[in-house]
Amino acid sequence: DGGITQSPKYLFRKEGQNVTLSCEQNLNHDAMYWYRQDPGQGLRLIYYSQIVNDFQKGDIAEGYSVSREKKESFPLTVTSAQKNPTAFYLCASTNPGTGGTDTQYFGPGTRLTVL
Amino acid sequence: GESVGLHLPTLSVQEGDNSIINCAYSNSASDYFIWYKQESGKGPQFIIDIRSNMDKRQGQRVTVLLNKTVKHLSLQIAATQPGDSAVYFCAENNAGNMLTFGGGTRLMVKP
């Protein structure tokens, strides 16, 4: 999984609760991303961060929040405002401008289920 | 809007045969393309990439072909093995470090 870890692997949430998904990378990558994957569908971008202390909304940011206080960490909080949070969440990172690749490397994912 | 898509949602091949997975893209400004493999319950794994100044790139048992005229990308897997069974999807980079992903094709390898 290329030096990117996500925890927990499985997460169960009761309705009305906020939960935080962890993403850590030791690749010294500047940019980090959160995606949501629903069964049989492609990846949809939730939030991304190109540099520490800065982040931008993706295509489906409503009901989610992030922080980027450290280069290696990009936690995602799924708030109670997210109406359909059950999904597989993937974190990725890349190092822009390294002279050839913009490949994003992914973590192993967290499967969130709302009870 | 611009999109990346796949022609075949499921591909079933016999072990040992070659597999070809296709992807169409619509943004002619895209300059970098990636193929990922995703096994069930796991994160996507990088397989191979190609830049728009190339039309072919080979890796170990895999080849990516890029046809910019018809905006088509394909992944060829030689001598397909049971371990190749997974969902494969393409992605295009057309704006900075942002990727647009296709929906994926499931490859099933029959023993």
B49 touching A, CB under 8 A? yes
pLDDT at B97: 74
The answer to whether A63 touches A82, Cβ cutoff 8 Å, is: yes
Determine the average pLDDT of the residues in B9-32: 93
For B61, residues 6+ apart whose C-beta sits below 8 A from its C-beta are B77, B78, B79
pLDDT at A1: 47
Question: What would the pLDDT profile of A19-71 be if each residue is shown by its tens digit?
Answer: 999 999 999 999 999 999 988 778 999 999 999 999 999 999 999 999 999 99
Determine the average pLDDT of the residues in B12-31: 93
Which residues of chain B neighbour A25 with C-beta distances below 8 Å? none
Across chain A, mean pLDDT equals 91
Q: Which among B105, B109, B61 has a CA at the least distance from the CA of B83?
A: B109
Which residues of chain B neighbour A102 with C-beta distances below 8 Å? 32, 93, 97, 99
Closest partner CB to B43 (pick from A45, A50, A108): A108
Question: What would the pLDDT profile of B55-96 be if each residue is shown by its tens digit?
Answer: 999 999 999 999 999 999 999 999 999 999 999 999 998 777
Residue ranges of A 56-115 with Cβ closer than 8 A to chain B = 90, 94, 96, 101-109, 111
pLDDT at A101: 52
**Integer Cα distance of B81 and B78 in angstroms:** 9
pLDDT at B2: 36
